[in-house]
Amino acid sequence: EVQLVESGGGLVQPGRSLRLSCAASGFTFDDYAMHWVRQAPGKGLEWVSGISWNSGSIGYADSVKGRFTISRDNAKNSLYLQMNSLRAEDTALYYCVQGVPGDYWGQGTLVTVSS
């Protein structure tokens, strides 16, 4: 059974940093591209960032480019999102997503940016 378990969310002040993690199991992790998608409260889906199976291709939404860094550790079956210079508008539920298109989604980790 495919499982994606996000962690690392929480309440953080504007300008601070946070690192999200996604632990993957139930599939061959390094066979798949992985993505982060977020959803602000009551709003639609926003694709945040994606990384190919070997980290050779990486993309970011314009809204996070230069502030967020995606990475993966295939030996640990894990996906990460380093979020720096956080803003109030980054407040959202962050989903870890397997594949292109997104076949499996985690349940999300909530990030709240507020003073």
Partner 1 sequence: DIQLTQSPSFLSASVGDRVTITCRASQGISSYLAWYQQKPGKAPKLLIYAASTLQSGVPSRFSGSGSGTEFTLTISSLQPEDFATYYCQQLNSYPFTFGPGTKVDIK
Q: Which residues bind partner 1 (CB under 8 A)?
A: 35, 37, 44-47, 50, 59-62, 95, 100-103, 105-108
Which tokens belong to 35?
């993505």
Q: Of the candidates 62, 95, 91, which has an alpha carbon nearest to the alpha carbon of residue 81?
A: 95
Which is closer to partner 1, CB of 15 or CB of 94? 94
Q: How far is the CB of 57 from partner 1 (least distance, A)?
A: 8
Q: How far is the CB of 5 from partner 1 (least distance, A)?
A: 12
Which is closer to partner 1, CB of 8 or CB of 102? 102
Give the residue carrying structure tokens 């480019």.
Answer: 65
Which is closer to partner 1, CB of 35 or CB of 72? 35
Q: How far is the CB of 58 from partner 1 (least distance, A)?
A: 8
Cα 35 to its chain centre, rounded Å, is: 6
Q: How far is the CB of 83 from partner 1 (least distance, A)?
A: 16
Which is closer to partner 1, CB of 11 or CB of 45? 45
